[in-house]
Amino acid sequence: MEATYETPPPPPPPPNPHLPPRSEGMAIGALVCGILGFLTCGLTGIVAIVLGHISRGKIQKNPGLGGDGQALAGLILGYVSVALSVIFFTSAGIQMATISKKVEAEAEKAKVMKTRAALEGAHHTVIMFEMENNRYPKSLEELITERVMVRVPNDAWGTPIQYDPATGQCYAVTPDGERLEPR
């Protein structure tokens, strides 16, 4: 019996000197998260910053790894997306505060107008009473008793309208202390 020998496999080819080094995985992740940071209002931009710093540290310790450009691009995109998000949300907050103040001011104007309308109605009722009775009513409650008025109206802040029987003048006082009278 004769011995047969198999031929050994050929040796692996030498590494190609023209191939770039293997990219560090976190560098690719930093780049992807940096790009996505613009779509996620900077949330993945924060991840890109963390991954970019970690991967650049690994690449500096191991010169055989590539991807430093990807990590740097991820870092830059991450910082830019976070900065733009901060600017956007800050300006949006300022605009919302401004709009809120304008809405509050308009609501106060509407309350003043509503109160003046109630004052004018009460004042006309007082004038009608005075024309029929040759005197001002002693109080707005007298107008209810005489069935001229159903109830004493409230101002827009929920306080009953005030009345001065000496002058027959109806008025209201705003929470700021301003006296409102019918026009």
pLDDT of res. 115:
93
CA angle 83/87/90 to nearest 5° reads: 135
Look at residue 31 and tell me whether its pLDDT is greater than 80: yes
- CB-based contact 159:115 (threshold 8 Å): no
- Measure the CA–CA gap between 173 and 162, rounded to whole angstroms: 8
Percent of residues, the chain, with pLDDT higher than 70? 95
Q: For 111-131, what is the mean pLDDT?
A: 92
CA-to-CA dists, residue 77 to 28, 32, 89, angstroms: 13, 9, 18
- CB-based contact 122:153 (threshold 8 Å): yes
CA 19 to chain centre: 51
CA dihedral of 12, 18, 21, 25, whole degrees rounded to 10: -100
Nearest to 163 by CA among 183, 146, 148, 181: 181
In the block, tokens 């209201």 appear at 172
Structure tokens at 39: 């779509």
- Measure the CA–CA gap between 172 and 159, rounded to whole angstroms: 8
- Amino acid letter at 180? L
Using alpha carbons only, how large is the chain's radius of gyration in Å? 41
Q: For 4-18, what is the mean pLDDT?
A: 75
pLDDT of res. 15:
65
3-state SS assignment for residue 23: strand
Domain boundaries for CATH 3.30.700.10 within the chain: 106-180
pLDDT of res. 102:
94
In this prediction, residue 23 has a pLDDT band, given cuts at 50, 70 and 90, of: confident
pLDDT of res. 183:
82
Does the 106-180 domain belong in CATH 3.30.700.10? yes
- CB-based contact 150:122 (threshold 8 Å): no
pLDDT of res. 70:
94
Q: For 69-98, what is the mean pLDDT?
A: 95
